[in-house]
Structure 1
Amino acid sequence: MSTSAFTTAIAQARDLLRWHSPLRTELWAARLTASLEQDQVAAFLRELAENGSTEARLTLAALAAVNPSPSPSGAGPSAETAAAEETAPSSEAYVRAAEGLVDTLPQWVSRMGRVTCEGAWYGKADPYGEQTLAVLSFRYENGKEPHILVVGIDQPNGGLAVDAVVEEVKFLDDLGLDAAEPGVIGGRILDAIELGDRIMGAAVADTLAEVRPLAIARARTVPGLVRGPGDDTAARFDDLPDLPGAREAFEKLVEFIGDRPLWWSPSRVSQFLTSWLPREAIMSDEAIAAMPEVARAWSRFLGDQPAVLREIDEDAPRLPALMADDSLAGLAKRIARNRL
């Protein structure tokens, strides 16, 4: 007797055969992948293969399209993800189950997964950059069904993917993002998804799981992927105040923001000025005096948010006293100071 998942998939595949839409079918296959429990996959694929109907063959081909083997560009999973997938259904299982089936299906089916990346964008999803958006745009090889993949990346929790959607290209108009290198953004998306896979209990949107297989498949098609890419936001900052110690102060700010420079909220500013600097930083008096203006200049560069500037105004006057309080220094700072 057919399983419930099988019966539902066949009915939905029958509708998709009438739509002739590679994109609609891939999105459906991604949701189907997310709905299958690990121990269901082998039996589900076997039931589809044994059925052999057009609907079953379309289901197998669509699952293979959104669960492909690593692309020729070499953008396979990282060592961490490969280890995590040792007990999970392999993409090879989906690919093997669909071998030779595409040629038995309508011609439009062959276009699934065969896309060209046409652009990339990156930037803040909110005024304080607590979440960033990584966007890739694609079009099928026949030029039809242009679409964008948008992945939300959480900054306070280390840069993990927390949501993903596939939308029409016009959706990009409302995001206000900067153009970026596709290889960098593709790598950033894969890194963010893999980080989320390694963190148990991470708070993510329910929709992420349904888009995740397609997001990975799309990102892997991007040529020239850069894994672990840096963020050049700080390197593009060119409005350093003309003050003694400003360069030294900015170097400490860059050390603090690390690889998440767009995240600059009132709470992060306060943490920097009242906690991190007194605990971690050894600075000259000139740099301490220049730091408030450096922080303001950096804030203007990131969008000039009034709440951020107010936080600087509130916390900056305390900085000299905090830096002079030896009881606030962390162990690394105390050791480094003793070596001077």
Structure 2
Amino acid sequence: MAIAYRLLNRQADPGRSCDRLTGMPKSRGRRKSSGDKKQRKPVRRSPLPLRLPDQVMRDARRQFGATGELLTAEAWASSWLGRAWLEAPVTEREPGQRLCLEVTGRASTTPSPAGLAAIAAMERVAPPDSRPMLASTVSILAETQPLPAWHASAGHHPVRAWRAVDVWDSERVLFIAYDGPTPHTLMAQITETGGTMVDKLGLLLPDAATAWSGMRDDEDIPMPLTEDDVPTALADLAAALRMTDMTWPRHNDEDFVELRALAWARCRDHLPELSEQQPLPDTERTRLIGAFTAAATHDTDPETADTFRSLAELFLDYGEGYITAGPLAWSPGHAALFLSDWLPRKAVLDHDQRTLLPDALKQWVDFSLTERGIEPRWIIPVTEAVDIHLTDFLEACDDHTAWGAAKQMAALLTSRGIDPNDQEAAIRAINAERLARQLTEHPPAYNY
């Protein structure tokens, strides 16, 4: 993450606010006059804040002049569409379309060059369903208003792509280079801990990818840069954006929100079909659990071996359901999430399992990453994460308010001597309890 920030700001003057793409200082507005101040009548302002489309139109009048660049216009429109997406309620499915419709209405009611430029900029990055309306509005307004100079540009086209993936497959950075009016690189930082998410987006200089290796320190986690196929990189970005959009609450990182619409416009045509992660074949699952149990418990008694085996099944369940790179791709982040969140909510451990959990999990991490061919020095940070976050598990595992519904039911059945894995016995017990509760709360009325 620190690398992405260094790339974003490497030309920035620390004393001034600078444009991320060009490194040029941003304008701070017109300086105040040093002459005598004139008495002005107080301006009466509305107590109500401007609605978002009105803010867009006001900002368009400040942003668009006689000159400008296409990339700047696209980034401007993307930032407003991103704000509409972030502020929309969860029930609103297409906040970008609503903003496009409202801005179009205002630009058509009071035509102006700035309004036309705003509509033309939004057309470049808006959701597909809004583009015909925006294009039609541009054609109508252009009959009486001058089009911005950048409108005739053919746009930017991807020419090369690279990816850098960490040693645990838990984080990757995509670089997609574009030519056109303003050559640049679109950067996307994607994390996998807790689910796929585009953590940050950035518009970088054209040589950002080639500068990647030189900007990494010796102590940084290995993330070697490899060239990638452009359609593959765009499909990866589109799939990650889709998963990020499914997350609630919405991801509110400023760099992501501002460039979300632009990134979608660049990669939407490459969006792959939604597919589910395939479970491990039974033979491979049996092999992994057997190999781990044999290696971890070769000098122990059968009861300890059974406990290790049950914990290995639990670790593998978590890996299959929550580690997108594969059930063996443990990282420090996955270890932290497993101990502090998933395990306290999902699993009921007996005394022996709780006692052996720390040792068993560290041995499982070592076993899993060795199976993946990870060097021992990069296994150590993951086992250290187990020690660090073990206290989180110990504090949360006895907090009944944090338990999920399934864990609460399993604990109730276990306390009554019923095996939660015995489906028929569990159903009989639940039905009996419901019937008893109904009879207690609403006793039948008998007529004698």
Q: Normalising to structure 1: TM-score of the pair?
A: 0.60
Equivalent-residue separation in structure 2 for 1:305 and 1:246 (angstroms): 16
Equivalent-residue separation in structure 2 for 1:118 and 1:101 (angstroms): 37
Please report how far the alpha carbon of residue 304 of structure 1 lies from its aligned counterpart in structure 2 after TM superposition: 0.8
Code of the residue aligned with 1:137 in structure 2: it is: I
Alignment match of 1:98 (pick from 100, 122, 138): 138
Structure 1 counterpart SS, 2:158: strand
Equivalent-residue separation in structure 1 for 2:292 and 2:168 (angstroms): 23
1:120·1:136 contact (CA, 8 Å) conserved in 2? yes
Alignment match of 1:190 (pick from 238, 250, 257): 238
- Find out whether 1:308 has 2:382 as its counterpart: yes
Alignment match of 1:226 (pick from 269, 272, 291): 272
Alignment match of 1:150 (pick from 170, 188, 197): 188
Equivalent-residue separation in structure 1 for 2:365 and 2:197 (angstroms): 31
Please report how far the alpha carbon of residue 123 of structure 1 lies from its aligned counterpart in structure 2 after TM superposition: 2.3
- Find out whether 1:108 has 2:150 as its counterpart: yes
Structure 1 counterpart SS, 2:248: coil
Please report how far the alpha carbon of residue 101 of structure 1 lies from its aligned counterpart in structure 2 after TM superposition: 7.0
Please report how far the alpha carbon of residue 13 of structure 1 lies from its aligned counterpart in structure 2 after TM superposition: 0.9
Hey, what does 1:159 align to over in structure 2?
196
Please report how far the alpha carbon of residue 50 of structure 1 lies from its aligned counterpart in structure 2 after TM superposition: 4.3
Equivalent-residue separation in structure 1 for 2:205 and 2:255 (angstroms): 17
Structure 2 counterpart SS, 1:138: strand
Please report how far the alpha carbon of residue 64 of structure 1 lies from its aligned counterpart in structure 2 after TM superposition: 0.3
Please report how far the alpha carbon of residue 62 of structure 1 lies from its aligned counterpart in structure 2 after TM superposition: 0.9
Pick 1 or 2: higher relative contact order, CA cutoff 8 A, min separation 6: 1
Please report how far the alpha carbon of residue 143 of structure 1 lies from its aligned counterpart in structure 2 after TM superposition: 6.9
Alignment match of 2:72 (pick from 24, 44, 47): 24
Residues 23-42 of structure 1 aligned to structure 2 (within 5 Å):
23-36=71-84, 38=95, 41-42=100-101
- Find out whether 1:294 has 2:374 as its counterpart: no
Hey, what does 2:254 align to over in structure 1?
206
2:201·2:259 contact (CA, 8 Å) conserved in 1? yes
What percentage of residue pairs aligned between the two structures are identical? 13
Q: How many residues align?
A: 283
Structure 2 counterpart SS, 1:214: helix
Code of the residue aligned with 2:320 in structure 1: it is: E
Please report how far the alpha carbon of residue 332 of structure 1 lies from its aligned counterpart in structure 2 after TM superposition: 11
Q: Which deviations, in whole Å up to 9, do the C-alpha atoms of 1:147-192 show, x marking residues without a partner?
A: 2232444521x22334322222444314745434443432333333
Any unmatched runs of 5+ in structure 2?
1-52, 88-94, 217-222, 281-289, 295-311, 350-359, 390-410, 424-448
2:67·2:149 contact (CA, 8 Å) conserved in 1? no
Equivalent-residue separation in structure 1 for 2:200 and 2:331 (angstroms): 21
Hey, what does 2:62 align to over in structure 1?
11
Equivalent-residue separation in structure 2 for 1:217 and 1:121 (angstroms): 20
- Report the CA distance shift for 1:306/1:258 in structure 2 as closer, same or farther (over 3 A): closer
Please report how far the alpha carbon of residue 59 of structure 1 lies from its aligned counterpart in structure 2 after TM superposition: 1.7
- Report the CA distance shift for 1:257/1:304 in structure 2 as closer, same or farther (over 3 A): farther
Equivalent-residue separation in structure 2 for 1:100 and 1:201 (angstroms): 39
- Find out whether 1:49 has 2:108 as its counterpart: yes
Q: Which deviations, in whole Å up to 9, do the C-alpha atoms of 1:206-227 show, x marking residues without a partner?
A: 33221111010011255xx534
1:29·1:63 contact (CA, 8 Å) conserved in 2? yes
C-alpha RMSD of the superposition = 5.1
Equivalent-residue separation in structure 2 for 1:210 and 1:332 (angstroms): 52
Q: Which deviations, in whole Å up to 9, do the C-alpha atoms of 1:54-98 show, x marking residues without a partner?
A: 33322211110011527xxxxxxxxxxxxxxxxxxx454434433
Code of the residue aligned with 1:18 in structure 2: it is: T
1:269·1:312 contact (CA, 8 Å) conserved in 2? no
Code of the residue aligned with 2:137 in structure 1: it is: A
Code of the residue aligned with 1:97 in structure 2: it is: T
Residues 275-290 of structure 1 aligned to structure 2 (within 5 Å):
none
Residues 123-134 of structure 1 aligned to structure 2 (within 5 Å):
123-124=165-166, 132-134=171-173
